Chain A
Amino acid sequence: MDFMNFAFLCRSKPASRNLRVAVIGAGPAGLAATGYLVCRGFEVDVFDKQPLPGGMTVFAIPPWRIPKQRVLEGVKRLEEVFGVRFYTRTKVFAGEVRHEEGDSLVEKSVPLEQVVNDYHAVLISTGTWESKIPRLPGVGSEGVVSALDYLYRVRVFELGFTASPPPRSRRAVVIGGGYSAIDAAEQASRMGADATIVYRRTVREAPAGVYEVERVKREGVDFVELASPVEVVAENGRAKGVRFQRMRLGPPDESGRPQPVPVEGADFVLEADLVIFATGEAPTPPVSRSEDVLRKLGLSLKKDGSVSVNKIYQTSNPKVFAAGDVVTGPSRVGPAVRSGLYAGRFVENWLETQLVKAPLTAR
């Protein structure tokens, strides 16, 4: 089978229950929930700010890891066989619209309040589209990007959605130790750059794992461990290098991993015309952080910006559920799929109990 079969529980669209569910965010979590819900007879509309569904799997993760076509063919089947409607280039938001990463192709904006009113239930699965870049001198320079932004720009160019090519580089320095660091460095390397990954702990602690680090090393990527950036060195507003502080491993921190501690007086500069920060992403719920807006919708956010949910993935507004990385913070495709599926089932259970209480009406 050459496509992701999101509707893996049924062969064709079952009889409709005439209950409408909106899914906001068409990444692995949203699409898994959609596949479940259509097989259970719900009418599902999906909103996404990108021109195509797929989330990170289409707009960030390189095609040599996940073939985009598998995801997109799966989406096409949801549309053609199961009647799912996809509203793309549509950003859903409540309150003053925040600019997040991957917003450049958005054409329409729909208030979250409207979506909540128009549907019997809503699933928020908007992922983590905001990179965390440490506030260091020089990070505002030209030639400094986040891994997500960099890979996003490569993907939308590849897909033909923009005529402006992604930044070219001769020497790229990537800061981080996770999958985004690996992907960004390998991407830059494949596009002709000498790429170096710099990580503040050692390869043994790198979240991407020894195997992935060794693999990209064989592809020609350098890996420097035990160094932490202190400054982006710039000239006339353009990055030309990164100054690093040498680190050594100290006692374990709260995550149980040995904490990197600075080695006094040991620093060095790596030359770079492209500096890529792969230092994590933060949840981007479709709502501003204003107390007023949140209260009106009955939603609450945690300190890291993630959506608060109970055990059944339900927010404090009973008809609004949330799943995927917008709840957990950055994870992986598997956990996002898992929570999307469970959330889909909980949406179904909740709608069924509502039906027992009283006939449901949208609006």
Chain B
Amino acid sequence: MASAPQPKYLRVIDLGACIGCGACEAVCDFLHDGRPFIKVYRTSLGLDIPLSCFHCSKAPCVEVCPTGAMTRDQSGAVYVEKSKCIGCLACLYACPFSIPELEPVLKVSSKCDLCKPLREMGLTPGCVSMCPAGAILYGEEALVYEAGKKRIAESMAKARFEALR
């Protein structure tokens, strides 16, 4: 019996709302024993940019992986099946965002899995939970698209309102 397709989940970082405080990186660091999979970079312009896997729908890392270790779970999160990984880092070469990293002990590729263990408990990824600015949108794909557009509508309305005077 084929099970109904699971809804795809999405995480989108709203850089307009992000204040660069690093809470996402802090939680991620804590959850992964000092090796965060979302990191906030201070850029030369002084703007702090959080960077983590985008869990691309046509993920080059998944395509290029010779052993099938880089794969996707039912909710759409791209993750590494550690036992299959040979640590070749073809995924890193393929990734346009330079995301995968070699895990130093096991010598396997490692990256954000959107907190698989927490999601399996019905919880949300740590970074989403702890963002003080509400800058990380997460949920069923359609809902995230809606939430993003609603924010834009709000800011357009605000701009028009401010132009009233």
Of the candidate stretches B26-34, B66-74, B89-97, B102-110, the one touching chain A is B26-34
B121 and A66 contact, CB distance less than 8 A: no
A-B contact count (CB 8 A): 91
Chain B, residue nearest A57 (CB): B132
B136 to chain A, nearest CB (A): 9
B30 and A342 contact, CB distance less than 8 A: yes
B23 and A333 contact, CB distance less than 8 A: yes
A9 and B132 contact, CB distance less than 8 A: no
B118: chain A residues at CB < 8 Å are 8-9
The proximity string for A residues 278-319 relative to B, scoring 1 for CB distances below 8 Å and 0 otherwise, is: 000000000000000000000000000000000000000000
Q: Which of B116-165 contact A (CB under 8 A)?
A: 118, 121-124, 126, 128-134, 138
From known contacts A8-B118, A9-B123, infer whether A70 and B129 are also in contact, taking CB-CB under 8 Å. no
Interface residues on A, range: 20 to 34
The 3 lowest CB-CB distance pairs between A and B, nearest first, are A209-B46, A334-B22, A338-B26
Q: Which of A191-239 contact B (CB under 8 A)?
A: 206, 208-213
The proximity string for B residues 27-52 relative to A, scoring 1 for CB distances below 8 Å and 0 otherwise, is: 10110000000001010011110000
B19 and A66 contact, CB distance less than 8 A: yes
Q: How many residues on B have C-beta within 8 angstroms of the other chain's C-beta atoms?
A: 30
B18 to chain A, nearest CB (A): 10
B128: chain A residues at CB < 8 Å are 1
B131: chain A residues at CB < 8 Å are 4
CA distance A32 to B126 in the complex (A): 12
Given A1-B128, A11-B121, A337-B22, 7 additional A-B pairs, CB 8 A: A5-B129, A9-B123, A210-B46, A333-B22, A335-B26, A338-B26, A338-B30
Q: Assess whether A175 is interfacial by the CB under 8 Å rule.
A: no
The proximity string for A residues 1-37 relative to B, scoring 1 for CB distances below 8 Å and 0 otherwise, is: 1101110111100000000000000001000100000
CA distance A66 to B131 in the complex (A): 9
CA distance A218 to B44 in the complex (A): 20
Q: Assess whether A121 is interfacial by the CB under 8 Å rule.
A: no
Q: Assess whether A94 is interfacial by the CB under 8 Å rule.
A: no
CA distance A334 to B27 in the complex (A): 8
B135 to chain A, nearest CB (A): 10
From known contacts A8-B130, A333-B22, A333-B132, infer whether A210 and B45 are also in contact, taking CB-CB under 8 Å. yes
Question: What would 7 A/B residue contacts be, using CB atoms closer than 8 Å?
Answer: A1-B129, A11-B121, A32-B130, A67-B134, A209-B45, A338-B22, A338-B25
Q: Assess whether B21 is interfacial by the CB under 8 Å rule.
A: yes
CA distance A317 to B107 in the complex (A): 40
